[in-house]
Chains A and B, each alone.
Chain A
Amino acid sequence: MNAISEGIQYLISSLSLGGLYALMALGLVIVYGILRLVNFAYGELVMVAGYGLLLFGDSPLPWIFVAILSVVAALLAGVAMERVAFRPVRNSNATTLLITSFAVSTLLQSVALLTISPRPRAPRLPGLFVESVTFGDLQVKIVDLIGIVVGVLALVALTLFMRRTVIGLALRAAADDFTMTRLLGVPANRVIASAFAVSGLMAGIVALFWIGRTGQTYPSVGLQPVLIAFIASVVGGMESLKGAVLGGYVLGFLTMGLQTWLPQGVNNYRDAVMFGIVILVLLLRPQGLVSPSYSREAR
Chain B
Amino acid sequence: MSSLRGTGSGWARSRINLLSTPFILVAGLVLIALIGQFRGDVVFDRVVTVMFINLLLTVGLQIFMGNSGLGSFGQYAFVAIGAYASIWFSLSPEQKSLALPDMPETWWLYGQHQPFLVATFIAAGIAAVGGGLIGIAFVRLRGASFTIATFAMLIVVNRVALQWEALTRGARTVLGIPKYTDLLTAFVWAAIVVVIAFAFKESTFGLKLRATREDEAAAASIGIHAALMRWIAWTLSAGVSGLGGALWAHFIQQFSPHNFYLRETFLIIAMLVIGGAGSVSGAALGTVVVALGQEQLRQTENWINAERTAGSGLFGAIPFDVRGFADIVLAVAIILVLIWRPAGITNGREITFATFRRLWPGNRNIPRGGADPVLGDVS
Contacts and interface: CB of A to CB of B under 8 A. Distances in A.
A118 to B, nearest CB: 7
B320 A268 contact: no
Interface in B113-162: 137, 140-141, 143-145, 147-149, 151-153, 155-156, 159-160, 162
A95 B71 contact: yes
Interface stretch (A10-18, A46-54, A99-107, A177-185): A99-107
Contacts of B266: 102-103, 106
A277 B151 CA distance: 13
Given A89-B342, A94-B147, A278-B148, A114 B334 contact: no
Contacts of B327: 106-107, 110, 113
Contacts, number: 127
A68 to B, nearest CB: 28
Nearest to A108: B331
B262 to A, nearest CB: 8
A114 B145 contact: no
Contacts of A32: 144
A7 interface: no
B141 A282 contact: yes
A92 B322 CA distance: 34
- B interface SS class: helix
Contacts of B364: none
B342 A96 contact: yes
Contacts of B137: 279, 283
A118 B156 CA distance: 26
Contacts of B71: 94-95, 98-99
Interface string B45-66: 0000000000000000000010
A66 to B, nearest CB: 23
A113 B159 contact: no
Given A100-B335, A268-B163, A95 B147 contact: yes
A272 B320 contact: no
A273 B84 CA distance: 21
B148 A99 contact: no
Interface in A31-49: 32, 36-38
A231 B204 CA distance: 38
A103 B270 contact: yes
Contacts of B359: none
B43 interface: no
Given A95-B69, A114-B325, A279 B144 contact: no
A215 interface: no
A84 B148 CA distance: 24
Contacts of A234: 148
B332 A88 contact: no
Given A103-B338, A272-B156, 7 more contacts: A88-B339, A100-B335, A102-B269, A107-B328, A114-B324, A269-B159, A282-B145
Interface of B: 65, 69-71, 73, 137, 140-141, 143-145, 147-149, 151-153, 155-156, 159-160, 162-163, 262-263, 266, 269-270, 273, 320, 322-325, 327-328, 330-332, 334-335, 338-339, 342
Return the 6 tightest CB-CB contacts between A and B, nearest first.
Answer: A107-B331, A95-B71, A94-B143, A272-B159, A110-B327, A275-B152
16 contacts: A36-B144, A38-B147, A89-B342, A92-B338, A95-B69, A98-B147, A99-B338, A102-B266, A106-B327, A107-B327, A113-B323, A269-B160, A272-B156, A279-B137, A279-B149, A282-B149
